[in-house]
A = this chain, B = another copy of it.
Amino acid sequence: MTTIRDVAEKAGVSISTVSRVFSGNIVVKEKTRQKVLSIAQELEYSPNNIGRYLKSGQTRTIGVLIPDIRNPIFPVIVRGIEDMARRLGYSIFLCNTDEMVSQQEHYVQLMRSMRVAGLIIATGQKRSDHTDISKFGGVPVVSIIRQIDGIDSVTVDNAGGIEQAMDHLLQSGRKRIVLCKGPSSIQPYKERFDAYVAKMKALSLYDPNLVVDVNPFNVGYGKDPFIDTDIAYEQLKTFFANGLEFDAVLAANDVVAMKCLRIMEELGKRVPADVAVIGFDNVDISTMTVPPLSTIGQPLYEVGKCAVKRLVNRIDNPSDEVALEKRFETTLILRKTT
C-alpha cells in the first residue's frame, strides 16, 4: 500500500504537507494542494486511519452490541444508528450477543481493544452482570431498549404503550383481555406485563388465567439459524385451544400477534368481530397481515438515531455527570384487527 511518504516523495514536499492536505481545514498553498492531490490519486493513496488514530486518539468508531439482528426490531434500530453515525463521521462494528453474558463480555473486551470511541448496548436482560457499569472500562456507553442506572439511555415507554392498547380495547367493550407475555427476565416484557396487571386489577378485570407465557422468538438465539419448529405457536395453540373465554388478545410483540392471528383463524374466531388482536412494535410485517394488524408503535429508527447523538455527546463531554435518560412515547396504530 502506498503511504504518505510515497506521496510526499513523488510530490517533492514533506510528509507534513501531505498530511495537512488530507486532514482538511489546515492552510496549504492551493498549488501545492493540487499537486499533492493529483499525485495521491495517481498512486491510489488512501490515508491510513489506523496510523492517523495512533496520534490523534480518535477512532471515530462505535461498537453496537445487540442480542440478535434477526429479531425484527433491530434492523430498524441499527439502520437508525448507522445513518446517524455516518452523518457524524462514525463507522459501526456490529456484534450479536445472544443475550449471553459471556458473549457480551467478549465483545466489550474486543471493542475496548479496538479502541472504539463508544458503545451502544441493547440488552433486555435484567441480570446485573449484563449491566455492571464497571465492566465497560471507561468507554462511553449508551444503553438502548432498557434503562441502566448511571448510564445514558434511550428507551421507550412500555407501560404507556400498554395503557394505550388497553384503553383502546376497553373502549370497544373488551373485558377478557388475554396477555401473551414475553419472558420476565427481559425488562421490556416485564414492564408490559406489570402495566397490564396493574390496569386489569384497577378495573377488577384481572384473571391470571388470561396470561400466557410465550417464548417470542423460539429462541433460537445462539443456534445456527432460527429453528423451524415454532415453539411460540405451539405454546399459544395449546393455551387458546383450552376453551378459555376471551374477547381480546394483547401480544408481547407483532410477531407473536401474527401467530395469534393464525390461531384465531384455525379456531374459527373472527378478528376483530369475535376477538380483537393488538401487537406491539409496529414492525414492517404488521401492515401485511390478514387483516392488517393494529399495534403499538415504537419509534425504533428514532431510538437508533438518538442513541448515536447521545453517545457522541458523551464522547465529547465525558465528564458530564448526570446520565441522560431519553424515553420515547409510543403511538397507538389502528388498523383492522381491533
A96 beta carbon closer than 8 Å to chain B: yes
A313 beta carbon closer than 8 Å to chain B: no
User: Known interface pairs A70-B76, A76-B225, A95-B82. Does A115 touch B230 (Cβ–Cβ under 8 Å)?
Assistant: no
Apart from A83-B96, A91-B110, 13 more pairs, CB < 8 Å: A44-B138, A54-B54, A69-B69, A69-B79, A69-B82, A74-B75, A82-B95, A82-B96, A91-B93, A92-B94, A261-B290, A262-B289, A285-B285
A198 beta carbon closer than 8 Å to chain B: no
Size class of the contact patch on chain A? 35 or more
Question: How would residues 263 to 301 of chain A score, 1 for a CB under 8 Å from any chain B CB and 0 otherwise?
Answer: 001000000000000000000110111101000000011
Within 8 Å by CB of A258, from B46, B109, B113, B285, lies B285
8 pairs, A vs B, C-beta closer than 8 Å: A1-B115, A48-B113, A49-B113, A49-B115, A50-B50, A69-B79, A91-B93, A262-B292
User: Are B114 and A49 closer than 8 Å at their CB atoms?
Assistant: yes
Q: How far is the CA of A258 from the CA of B284 in the complex (A)?
A: 12
A24 beta carbon closer than 8 Å to chain B: no
Which residues of A from 120 to 145 have beta carbons under 8 Å from B?
137-138
Question: How would residues 233 to 249 of chain A score, 1 for a CB under 8 Å from any chain B CB and 0 otherwise?
Answer: 10000000000000000
Q: How far is the CA of A202 from the CA of B1 in the complex (A)?
A: 53
